Amino acid sequence: MKYISTRGEAPSLSFEDVVLTGLASDGGLYVPETLPKFSKEEIASWAGLEYRELALKIMTPFVANEIPEADLKNLIDKSYDSFRHEAIAPLVQTGHNEWILELFQGPTLAFKDFALQFLGHLLDYVLKKRDQKVVIMGATSGDTGSAAIEGCRDCENVDIFILHPYQRVSEVQRRQMTTVIEKNVHNIALEGNFDDCQNMVKASFADQSFLPEGRQLVAVNSINWARIMAQIVYYFYAGLALGAPHRAISFSVPTGNFGDIFAGYLANQMGLPIEQLVIATNSNDILHRCISDNDHSKKPLIHSLSPSMDIMVSSNFERMLFDLYGRDGAQIKKLMEDFKSGSMVLSDEALEKARELFSSYRLDDNETIDVIREVFEKTEYLLDPHTAIGVQAARETRRSSETPMVCLSTAHPAKFPEAVKQAGQTEDPALPHHMSDLFEREEAYEVIANDMEKVHGFIKSNINA
């Protein structure tokens, strides 16, 4: 299988090359030239498969013949061995035909573990085969960083540098990153917001001249195709558990960068019958404004109780636009240039096509706290603030009560004690046993000004020979 850029001017690449490349040379994002399609009969035959077995079925077509099936199976098995729950992605019922898909059972208590545990093992496999060393540079609004570090801490051929916005992630999120004391792990607290971190990473990929000879940057953010690919699996897993393909399923997804919900869109394109995908946002609601009012304009970023969604530039939305505009790279390039100036407007045709599958809703912090309190009072189930937004967005926009609605729970509530306390809990939610000493561990991170030259200087001086 070949991969092409959303802007149409970069060369097509193989799977392994796309994993190591990240952003395309024309500034676009790589997507498969064609998507694999599964028949209703084939999907039905997967009912009852264990999560790892299902992952192998879904990922194999994307990898084609580049990784032998036995090796891919081994990579998948190792990736999910560190998950605490035997089901990997368990479902919990919280209402009539309303389900929570717990995606926080991995080592860093966030859905990012599904993709980044796999990506870490995949990178190790590819780099050893090529006898190559790389530098990972990533931006995080909270969860990507810790999951990437956990996935790559033992990679011999990787130096990893993660930028997080200084004092704009929760203490648990920060400590999950900064207490990993390994010679190849480096944390940068950037004096800015998440979009500043993301913009610096994108600019660094465009000009990698600051790196030593023979090194290249590799992306761990959701611009990396392998992450999206791994996330498709749990949509099929939840769907099969609730009666697909013989009945349609709906999903509500708390999202900022559009990667997680884009994986759901791909699952639908590949044959999973999805009736509705709900884009759930906090006050940083550019995606909700776009779907509801065709207002995709930048506004000042608001620091919220759901910091992983404090994003105004949703990178993966470009992949969606590529399909909405008939895979016309020239039109996408023009849209992205418009957006760089502050705003872009979708065509009526593209917006209508998006609304066939997508709905959207936004909640502010006060509404989020109310949902956490209400759900706990009724069910004794404790939501993190991101999941709470997903639950309420589903309830407000649901098209059919007869269709199962699955709300993706993207993080463990222990990562966001401030929101949980404001919702009326008298004590911080307990961290799982393997993380119970988190607040006693040594931390290491560098606070750096929002200055490209200073960040590049720090990276260059800390790359291992």
Domain ranges in the chain are 88-108+225-422
Q: How far apart are CA 197 and CA 174, in angstroms?
A: 15
What's the alpha-carbon Rg for the chain, to the nearest Å? 21
Residue from 149, 226, 165 nearest 198 by CA: 165
Partners of 405 in beta bridges: 98, 250
Q: How far apart are CA 68 and CA 48, in angstroms?
A: 25
Q: How far apart are CA 441 and CA 363, in angstroms?
A: 35
Q: CA of 257: how far to CAs of 26, 104, 195, 221, 308, in Å?
A: 20, 18, 10, 9, 9
CATH architecture label of 88-108+225-422? 3-Layer(aba) Sandwich (3.40)
Partners of 344 in beta bridges: 296
Is-catalytic flag, 112? yes
Instruction: Classify residue 27 as left (phi > 0), alpha (psi -120 to 50) or beta.
Output: left
Predicted pLDDT at 319: 98
Q: How far apart are CA 25 and CA 182, in angstroms?
A: 32
Those residues of the chain that have pLDDT short of 50 are: none
- Dihedral sign (CA 113, 117, 118, 122): positive
Q: How far apart are CA 15 and CA 60, in angstroms?
A: 11
φ/ψ of residue 255, rounded to 5:
-145, 145
Predicted pLDDT at 464: 86
Q: Are 249 and 274 in contact (CB under 8 A)?
A: yes
- Choice among 37, 112, 129, 460 that is catalytic: 112
Q: Are 322 and 267 in contact (CB under 8 A)?
A: no
Q: How far apart are CA 382 and CA 400, in angstroms?
A: 25
Predicted pLDDT at 240: 98
